[in-house]
Structure 1
């Protein structure tokens, strides 16, 4: 409906009102008006296709039907992918470790296949749960070996 309406409106307005003062020949004027109407109709069709095929998502809703629930004190649950830093522990200055921290493996593990209906729950104190891939830094504030890592 929007495509037909936009074509008809632009073609009629350009052919009857906008272009006559600039062009004497009616064949050229209406041909140009039709081309302008077709261009706007193509934009309306692209908008309509995008509108019809979009996935409705309300603010705060997790992507792909996933849900996240953080129940523990200071816990974080992310239903989708995470690319930022997440820290759930207390922020206190740490001593510099005597040796550099261990490096991550050169090749990351393959991503888990996406699930259309998954639930992510972080139920423990200062727990972190990520339902997708995580490329950010995750820290619960726990210390192991006295190095502050």
Structure 2
């Protein structure tokens, strides 16, 4: 029902965005400038149509937007080392790895083999969680580049 209410509200505002400027210009503003009523109402209608078009674009965005955060109960958590969690959409680049030119892996630099972490339990719906080492979790769309590994200066196989 909320979706219908948003569309109905957007439609009402769009109609009002046409009627109010058209009437104001046709009855109050333009009579002193334009004496011919056909021209006056044509200009008023054109102005009302322009305002209604802008209002319609706003109404579409209002009616189709989704709630994120706040009362929806969405939880965003990044608990792993160098982990990144984004609750909504991402449009920038995310890199959790090193960009140096050393030939060592992170495990070798830390002093040998490390035990991999245990797989976490399934998160609750609406939860965005990045728990692993250098993990990335995004709760929406991503249009930017993502990288979780090291980028060394050596030749690629």
TM-score by length of 2: 0.51
- Return closer, same or farther for 1:7/1:69 CA change in 2, 3 Å cut-off: same
Q: Aligned-pair RMSD on alpha carbons?
A: 3.8
**How far apart are residue 73 of structure 1 and its match?**
3.4
Q: Which has the higher helix share?
A: 2
Q: Report the alpha carbon displacement of residue 120 of structure 1 after superposing the two structures with TM.
A: 2.5
Partner of 2:108: none
Aligned 1:28-43 pairs, distance under 5 A: 29-43=36-50
Equivalent of 1:50, from 46, 57, 70?
57
Please state if 1:124 is matched with 2:132.
Answer: yes
Matches within 5 A, 1:1-149: 1-12=16-27, 13-14=29-30, 16-20=31-35, 29-53=36-60, 54=62, 55-56=64-65, 61=68, 68-79=76-87, 84-95=92-103, 118-131=126-139, 136-141=145-150
Residue 131 of structure 1 deviates from its aligned partner by: 4.2
Task: Provide the secondary structure at the position in 1 that maps to 2:50.
Answer: helix
Q: Once the two structures are superposed, what CA deviation does each residue of 1:103-137 show, in whole Å capped at 9, x if it has no partner? A: xxxxxxxxxxxxxx753310223221234565624
User: How many Å separate the matches in 2 of 1:132 and 1:18?
Assistant: 53
Runs (4 or more) in structure 1 with deviation over 6 Å come to 146-149
Are the structure 2 counterparts of residues 127 and 56 from structure 1 closer, same or farther at C-alpha, using a change threshold of 3 Å?
Answer: same
**How many angstroms does 1:52 deviate by?**
3.3
- SS of corresponding position for 1:92: coil
Number of residues of Structure 1 aligned to a counterpart in Structure 2:
113
SS in 1 for 2:26: helix
Hey, what's the Cα distance between the residues in 2 that align with 1:134 and 1:49? 27
Structure 1 Cα separation of the partners of residues 90 and 81 of structure 2: 20
CA spacing shift, 1:80–1:94, aligned 2, 3 Å? farther
